[in-house]
Homo-oligomer: A and B are copies of this chain.
Amino acid sequence: MNIYKSKSKEGQKFLKKIISRQIDMEGDTLFEVKKILDDVRKYKDTAVKKYTKEFDNVYLEDFEVKEREFDFAESKVEDDLKKAMKKAYENIWRFHERQISKGFEIDIEDVKSGSKYLPIEKAGIYVPGGKAAYPSSVLMNAIPAKVAGVKEIIMIAPPSKDGSISNEVLYGARLCNVDRVFKIGGAQGIGALAYGTESVPKVDIITGPGNIYVSMAKKLVYGSVNIDMIAGPSEILILSDGLQNPSYIASDLLAQAEHDELASSILLTLSMTEGKKVSEELKIKVRELPKEDICIKSLENYGAIIVCESEEEMVEIANKIAPEHLEILGFGKGISEKIRNAGCIFLGEYSPEALGDYIAGPNHILPTNGTARFFSPLGTDTFMKRMNYISSTKEGLENLKENIEIFAKKEGLIAHERSITGRF
């Protein structure tokens, strides 16, 4: 992996490349996805069948997963994984239960008002298929929705060529009491959830990451439904004070790199010596991995070790990158307080990213690609909305009457003014 000094020309160039990385939402893909969505809106199940044949290479007359398929899946999942999933379920539930937003009521000049938080009624969750069919993604998507009080959860996932969905994913859906599961992926799946078809119910919100087609489709249906965020390539940024175990650092960089050739794994360290040691460790460790090729490409294109001059410089770079995962190794306690943009912070040498991927409790569906500047991790509030209310007595309205009239007149809204004056 390349080692740069932070102030060097190459270091600056690399950082600029990472910070300005945009999801390619351009031209052709946009129109292609728009066409798929329009077709699904118009031709419903017929269009879904067509695109499933085209993209997933399987013709399905009926997309919905049946009870016997869930039974079969449950019989095939190994006991130790079932146990692990149940433990994860418990911890994820505990964390997200604490995240429920509470409403309030306030009295302002004898007018009562407040905010209430209510569950969104129907949620559609997208679980990627193929090699990325992770049972942990089902848990991370469905549990916050259940905790929020969503009435109906519809899950979709792309089918394999044989028309099946992974047993682990189906078992996860059953474990989380997902109401219905459909074997539909891609933009056609997002369209089916957003507009409804003969077989798929229209939902109010769609969550969960997917490929570029899924992301683009989520963006285009936004407004007809709500969505959680737009997902891009995933990344880790590690900050080290230079006194850390290089083996731990290398293993965490690789755990990110093995996800995807587009994944980004970056170390910021205060020590060139540590940087070099980590680089050596990477060379050894990567050879032992089944996903060696993916790791090498990812580290070459989007990975780097950057030797910084100060803690302050590191914090500044971290806030600019706004990484999905941020590990902080060493330093005094105050450093994490300076981090303003990150999906999830992992503090200390015994908090590797993998701890957060499965079982610690917090969600692993996090804002990627710099969007932690403004998006939040998936959470309970993703599946809730706020509603305001106002309740005034005659005295309360009288207190504010004059000022309302001034505003309304100035804004040329005479019916507004009369709706107040007419009451006195």
**A binding-site residues for B, Cβ under 8 Å:** 22-23, 25, 30, 34, 78, 80-81, 83-85, 87-88, 91, 94-95, 98-99, 101, 104, 106, 108-109, 111, 113, 115, 118, 120-121, 131, 134-136, 168, 204-205, 215, 219-220, 222-226, 229-230, 247-248, 251-252, 254-255, 257-259, 285, 288-291, 295, 336, 339-363, 366-367, 371-377, 379, 381, 385-394, 396-397, 400, 402-404, 406-408, 410-420, 422-423
A258-B415 in contact given A98-B104, A423-B248 (Cβ < 8 Å): yes
Q: How far is the CA of A371 from the CA of B88 in the complex (A)?
A: 34
A357-B416 in contact given A25-B223, A120-B374 (Cβ < 8 Å): yes
How many Å from the CB of A57 to the closest CB on chain B?
22
- Could you write out 5 A-B pairs with CB less than 8 Å apart? A115-B362, A251-B418, A254-B415, A348-B391, A360-B392
Q: Are A354 and B420 in contact (CB under 8 A)?
A: yes
Majority secondary structure, A binding face: mixed
Q: Are B204 and A374 in contact (CB under 8 A)?
A: yes
A362-B350 in contact given A255-B416, A419-B252 (Cβ < 8 Å): no
Q: How far is the CA of A379 from the CA of B354 in the complex (A)?
A: 35
How many Å from the CB of A353 to the closest CB on chain B?
7
Q: Are B407 and A343 in contact (CB under 8 A)?
A: no
Chain B residue at minimal CB-CB distance from A122:
B373
Q: Are A91 and B120 in contact (CB under 8 A)?
A: no
Q: Are B387 and A372 in contact (CB under 8 A)?
A: yes
Q: How far is the CA of A222 from the CA of B231 in the complex (A)?
A: 11
How many Å from the CB of A128 to the closest CB on chain B?
12
A113-B95 in contact given A258-B416, A349-B423, A376-B385 (Cβ < 8 Å): yes
Q: A120-B373, A289-B415, A372-B387 are in contact. List 4 more A-B contacts (CB 8 A).
A: A83-B403, A84-B403, A289-B414, A366-B388
How many Å from the CB of A98 to the closest CB on chain B?
5
A388-B377 in contact given A354-B416, A362-B113 (Cβ < 8 Å): yes
Pick the residue among B373, B408, B417 that contacts A121 (CB under 8 A).
B373
Chain B residue at minimal CB-CB distance from A377:
B388
Q: Are B290 and A22 in contact (CB under 8 A)?
A: no
Q: Within 8 Å CB of A229, what residues of B? A: 223
Nearest 6 A/B pairs, CB to CB = A223-B230, A226-B374, A376-B386, A347-B391, A84-B403, A251-B419
Q: How far is the CA of A407 from the CA of B257 in the complex (A)?
A: 18
Q: Are B413 and A344 in contact (CB under 8 A)?
A: no
Q: Within 8 Å CB of A353, what residues of B? A: 419
Q: How far is the CA of A108 from the CA of B94 in the complex (A)?
A: 8
Q: Within 8 Å CB of A118, what residues of B? A: 340
